[in-house]
Amino acid sequence: MVDVDDTALYVTDTGGAGQPVVYLNGAYADLSHWKKVVADLGPGYRHIRFDERARGKSKQSADYSFEACLRDIDAVLAARGVDGPVILVGWSYGGVLGWHWADRNPDRVTGLVTVDSFPFGLTREESAERIRKLFHKMRFLLPFVRPFGMAARMSAAQHAEVNIELNEIAAASVAVLERASHPVRFVLATGDSLGSEKGEMESGRTVLDPIIAHNPNVTISAKVASNHSKILAKDSPAVAAAVRGLVTD
């Protein structure tokens, strides 16, 4: 466990001299979602995974903000003695975290693999209310899906606020990607996510097109037939290939 602020984070680290790869989870997910990617990449890398606050085996906190999650990356790397360049692999919420951490720490990043995250969000107040209503309806279901890494030890209202903040930050992240000085490889799905309207996610992915045209460091490594929720389970080889490409490029 790694102590940070008022909480403690559960961390796994395979160690060794290989390229460090740091995995950043989806908003309510735990580190188990990365097991197929880790297996596909194999022992030639140093795999560092951790559960965010109130997810998986980590402790609860009074602060579930995006800034707190950025501090958690710093705390994990410091605790594991990693000060050299890392590859960040982030899915959904974790992808957005990766963009911003790399933007603040450009000398500590070899590159990023972003799994179905994109700089698009529902920022209008009616969209925020839609998210709150969705989690309010799901409030009795959350404890039952928690063991599968699909919910955190938070209230339904806290789940909603994490999602609302993510939408706002993701929508404001175009400039972060446009100025990225390190390789950013996207592995994208084609389907929707829980709570999104039909086609909404695919429409959001098109926001990447002008960024890719503007910044040659940003590319799409693969686009796969999975939906947002199942991409790590069904298309882990595409994610692993994107990581290997950062090492060999």
pLDDT digits (tens, 9 = 90+) for 164-196: 888 889 888 999 999 999 999 999 988 665 555
Is 164:79 a contact under the CB 8 Å cutoff? no
Q: What share of the chain is helix, strand, coil (3-state, %, to 5)?
A: 45, 20, 35
Nearest to 89 by CA among 118, 115, 50: 115
Beta bridge partners of 188: 223
Nearest to 96 by CA among 183, 173, 34, 151: 173
- Domains of the chain from N-terminus onward: 2-119+170-248 (3.40.50.1820)
pLDDT for res 61: 94
Sequence-distant (6+) residues with CB within 8 A of 147 are none
Task: Give whichever of 16-20, 67-71, 201-205 has the largest mean pLDDT.
Answer: 67-71
Is 246:110 a contact under the CB 8 Å cutoff? yes
pLDDT digits (tens, 9 = 90+) for 29-71: 999 999 999 999 999 999 999 999 999 899 999 999 999 999 9
Concatenated DSSP letters of 110-143 = EEEEEES--S----SHHHHHHHHHHHHHTTTTHH
Tokens for 62, please give them: 């009074």
In angstroms, the CA 2 to CA 50 distance is: 9
Q: Is 90 helix (H, G, I), strand (E, B) or coil?
A: strand
Give the containing element (helix H, strand E) for 222: strand 218-223
